[in-house]
Copies of this chain bind each other. A is one copy, B any other.
Amino acid sequence: MLEMDHVALQTRDVAASVRFYVENFDAEVLYEDATWAFLRMGQGKLALVSPEQHPPHVALRVSEATLAQAAARAGKQIDKHRDGTIGIYLDDSQGNVIELICYPPGETAYEKKSRD
């Protein structure tokens, strides 16, 4: 089953953007460092990314099997991210980037955090 996981927006100042979304839209910080943050906003999630590191994108959550199939079909290598998620970026042919993202069970920062 395909689910929308998050939207990623670019910012040159992650800390200032985190403050903006927390103060204006009640965002909850799930992860934050100098070049990347991950926020919960209502039932959705927002990533704030550095323009040098990631394109703006919409991420769809998939299983490891679906990700592996899609990567093979697209001829792409699966990237591992600092939070333990894995994924690939796809182009929608109109300049928009779609990420297929997978949260391998027991491997991500969010699960480890919740077990503390």
Which B residue's beta carbon lies closest to that of A61? Answer: B42
Most buried by B among A3, A10, A58: A58
Q: How far is the CA of A24 from the CA of B3 in the complex (A)?
A: 13
Residues in B neighbouring A75, C-beta threshold 8 A: none
User: Contact: A96 with B58, CB < 8 Å?
Assistant: no
Which B residue's beta carbon lies closest to that of A45? Answer: B4
Number of copies: 2
Assess whether A21 is interfacial by the CB under 8 Å rule: yes
Interface class of chain A by DSSP = mixed
Assess whether A65 is interfacial by the CB under 8 Å rule: no
User: Contact: A4 with B42, CB < 8 Å?
Assistant: yes
Please judge, given known A-B contacts A25-B60, A58-B9, whether A3 and B96 are in contact too, CB under 8 Å: no
Stretch at the interface among A29-37, A77-85, A87-95, A105-113: A87-95
User: Contact: B94 with A10, CB < 8 Å?
Assistant: yes
A20-64, CB < 8 A from B? 20-21, 24-26, 41-44, 46, 56, 58, 60-61
